[in-house]
A and B are shown apart, each in its own frame.
Chain A
Amino acid sequence: MDLLRIERFIWKSIMDTRERPLSPHLQVYKPQLTSILSIMHRVTGVALAAGTCLLVWWLVVIALGGEYYTIMQNIMGSWYGRLALLGWSFALFYHLCNGIRHLFWDMGVGLELRRAYQSGWLVIGAAILLTLGTWTYAYQSVGAL
């Protein structure tokens, strides 16, 4: 091999290294409850960060008062507003419940595989129940139930 070919070979291997798939090779894993809940914690966290703009919007329109508040009420009261709020409330309850699960893990509690699965199902159940409960309460408050 001449020098040029050696150089090309080295460059090619560097490029190959860069193109290699990176760990953790998610596509070869069978989806598990624990891994799905883990990524859901991130997804809901990011969604909630964006959703916090709703809180800012709410406070600002109340401070502005009058028609601005009515406009927000109309938008959030529409079917797409309610759908967004439904997603927002479920994300919040999920992140809250799973966050508590994480705090227990931080204290070294419930790290055994069996317990991690149990608490995982508990978090899903609690998040669904809290979401349903909140919406029942909301509809009762506006007199729709």
Chain B
Amino acid sequence: MSLRTDLGKVRGLGSAKEGVGHWWSQRLTAIALIPLLIWLIASIVPLAGAEVRIVREWISEPVNSVLLLSLIVAVFHHAQLGLQVVIEDYVHTVWLKLASLIVVKFLAFGLSTTSIFAVLKIAFSG
């Protein structure tokens, strides 16, 4: 007989101690990315071949800056969650798995902060 309550069992969060957190973040970012990506593609395709001045103007529009920043956060979070699953599924050597996970997470963090800084720089320098 288990002395744990039903609620306690549900909150036990399994062996990874994070329950469905990973799964849920993956879906949330996926849902967010549907409209964000449609918006991004519809917006940047007409900018193909445009002068840098026109592209800068487009990015520095407040609505576009905010949506771009949201997309960057969602895309890198989604990507590193997905890559984590792929690494955990296929890389079985412990040190290599850990090293790959660290590299992926650090890269996702570094590339997203770089992109965020670039958008802010464009947005605030007009």
Contact = CB atoms under 8 A, between A and B. Distances in A.
Contacts of A62: 52, 55-56, 59, 118, 122
Contacts, number: 81
B1 interface: no
Contacts of B68: 59
A141 B46 contact: yes
Interface residues of A, number: 32
B121 A103 contact: no
Interface in B73-125: 75-76, 79-80, 82-83, 86, 111, 114-115, 117-119, 121-122
Interface in A25-77: 42, 45-46, 48-49, 52-53, 55-56, 59-60, 62-63, 65-66, 69-70, 73, 77
A96 B37 contact: yes
Contacts of A102: 30
A77 B50 CA distance: 12
A142 B83 contact: no
Given A96-B34, A138-B48, A55 B83 contact: no
B114 A56 contact: yes
Contact of A52 (B41, B45, B47, B79): B79
Question: Is the contact region of chain A dominated by helix, strand, or loop, or is it mixed?
Answer: helix
B31 interface: yes
Contacts of A73: 49
B24 to A, nearest CB: 10
Given A63-B121, A106-B27, A141-B45, A49 B52 contact: no
B41 A141 contact: no
A92 interface: yes
Interface string A118-140: 00000000000000001001100
Interface of A: 42, 45-46, 48-49, 52-53, 55-56, 59-60, 62-63, 65-66, 69-70, 73, 77, 89, 92, 96, 99-100, 102-103, 106, 134, 137-138, 141-142
